[in-house]
Amino acid sequence: MKGMMVLERKINKLFRDFGIVAYCGERFEYSNSVVSFTPYFWDRLSRAHCEYIDKTFGIDVRSSYFTFCILHEIGHHYTLRNFTEEEIDNEIIIRKLLSFCEKDPKEINNAYFNLPIEEEATKWALEYMVNHVSWVNRVNRLCCDALRHYFKVNGWG
């Protein structure tokens, strides 16, 4: 995909102080100091996720959703150490079960976000955002530009 290197370079530069490496993948994910992010992030479930955050924590992340999602993954980087190996393994099993569950996707998503490890990462991200408003605004703007560039060079915008 064209523009991917540019996008990755920009995102890595913006988030370099967190001690993580970011790469452009198919979803938002964290593993061993590596965060993957995706440019395709605004869909029905993201909207539902924003509603859930607003309802649960009283914070509107709609205009910062991409930044929030990366910060959530970075949140895993800082909060996973609060959990035991057993707790992490249990959550992996619950995640698998949820992925086979045939309920309403919105409900499954909410159950997923309620998992303690997920909730910790979300709380970390929200706290960071609340305490670094001008940084978040700057990063939002630069992320938007980087994404717009990515879509443009691929002929989608």
- CB of 28 or CB of 151, closer to Zn ion: 28
- Closest approach of Zn ion to the CB of residue 28, in Å: 7
- CB of 6 or CB of 98, closer to Zn ion: 98
- CB of 105 or CB of 157, closer to Zn ion: 105
- Closest approach of Zn ion to the CB of residue 93, in Å: 16
Q: Do 28 and 41 meet the contact criterion of CB atoms below 8 Å apart? A: yes
From CA 6, how far away is CA 131, in angstroms rounded? 28
User: Which of 38, 43, 41, 30 is closest to 81 using CA atoms?
Assistant: 30
CA atoms within 13 A on the CB side of 47: 2
CA atoms within 13 A on the CB side of 135: 10
- Closest approach of Zn ion to the CB of residue 153, in Å: 29
Q: In the window 100-129, what residues touch Zn ion (CB under 5 A)? A: 118, 121
- Closest approach of Zn ion to the CB of residue 76, in Å: 6
- CB of 53 or CB of 121, closer to Zn ion: 121
From CA 39, how far away is CA 148, in angstroms rounded? 10
- Closest approach of Zn ion to the CB of residue 72, in Å: 6
- CB of 121 or CB of 146, closer to Zn ion: 121
Number of residues that bind Zn ion (CB under 5 A): 2
User: Which of 12, 5, 14 is closest to 34 using CA atoms?
Assistant: 12
Q: Which residues bind Zn ion (CB under 5 A)?
A: 118, 121
